[in-house]
Amino acid sequence: MDQVGADYENIERVRAYDEQMSKVRDFNKEIEYIVNAIDLKKEHNILEFGSGTGNFTIAAARICKKVYAIDISSNMLTYLKNKAKQRNIKNIITIQSGFLNYQHKNELVDAIITNVALHHLPDFWKMVSLYRMNKMIKPGGKIFIGDVIFSFPVEEYKDKITNFINNIENSADPGFAEDAETHIREEFSSFDWVIEGMLKRTGFTIDKIDYRNDTFAIFICTKKQ
C-alpha cells in the first residue's frame, strides 16, 4: 500500500491534479475510446484499477450495471465519491486497495480497465498483477491497459525522455513536469515488448496495440476461453 511517485496527500492536491490532467488529456475522447474498445454494455460489471479522480469510472457507471473503483489513495476515492454523489450516481463500489492486495470476492467481471496506473509496479509485480487480474475476468472478457510504455530504441533514451518531460511542461505547468520527472526517476514504465510478453504469458490474447507515440501505448486484450 506504499505510495509510488507523487503523493496526493489531501483533497486540494487531488483537485489540482484533476485540473492539471485535463490540460494534458482529452478525457471525453479517452472515455469514448475505452467504451468502444471493450464494447461496454448496460449488463456489464467492470473493474477499474487506479480509478483516480473518477473520470472514466463515472462515465462508465452511466452505461453499465456496476463499476468497482479500486485506488490506493483514500483522498482520490473521497474525491471520486463526491463527484458521483453530485451526479446522483449510485452503482459505483469504491475500495481502497492496490493491484497486489485487492481481493475480488464477487462474480467475475466483464472487463478490467487500468489507465496510467500499471507503471507503479516493477515488472515482476506487473506480471503477478496481470495474472491476478486474469482470474477476476470472465472467459472472453476484456482488459484495457493504457500507460506510459516506451517503444523507442533504447539508445535514444536521453532525447526521448527529455522530450517526454518537456511536452508535459508545455501542455500543463512546471509543477506537473516535476511529477513527470518523478515518474521517470522513481516509477516503473516498461518497454512495449516486455508488456506484450507479460500479457501473452498471463492468459490474454492481444487484440490491438495502439501506439499513440513512442512513450504511450494502449493494449486491448481478451481473456482466453
- Please tell me the predicted confidence (pLDDT) of residue 168: 82
Mean pLDDT per block of 10 residues along the chain (225 residues) reads: 57 65 74 96 97 93 97 92 94 97 96 96 98 98 97 96 88 75 93 97 98 96 95
b (16+ CB within 10 A) / e for 162-195: eebbeebbeebeeebbeebeebeeeebbbebeeb
- Please tell me the predicted confidence (pLDDT) of residue 12: 67
- Please tell me the predicted confidence (pLDDT) of residue 2: 62
DSSP character for 6?
S
pTM of the model: 0.89
**Dist CA 90 CA 144 (whole Å):** 24
Instruction: Tell me if 59 sits within 8 A of 31, measured CB to CB.
Output: yes
Strands (E), 11-81: 45-49, 66-71
Dihedral, CA of residue 208, residue 213, residue 215 and residue 216, to nearest 10 = -40
The domain segmentation of the chain, as residue ranges, is: 11-223
Helix (H, G, I), strand (E, B) or coil at 42: coil
Give the architecture (CATH level 2) of 11-223: 3-Layer(aba) Sandwich (3.40)
- Please tell me the predicted confidence (pLDDT) of residue 58: 95
Helix (H, G, I), strand (E, B) or coil at 119: helix
Strands (E), the chain: 45-49, 66-71, 92-96, 109-115, 137-147, 204-213, 216-223
Max Cα distance, the chain (Å): 51
- Please tell me the predicted confidence (pLDDT) of residue 169: 81
- Please tell me the predicted confidence (pLDDT) of residue 167: 86
Q: Are strands 92-96 and 66-71 parallel, antiparallel or unpaired?
A: parallel
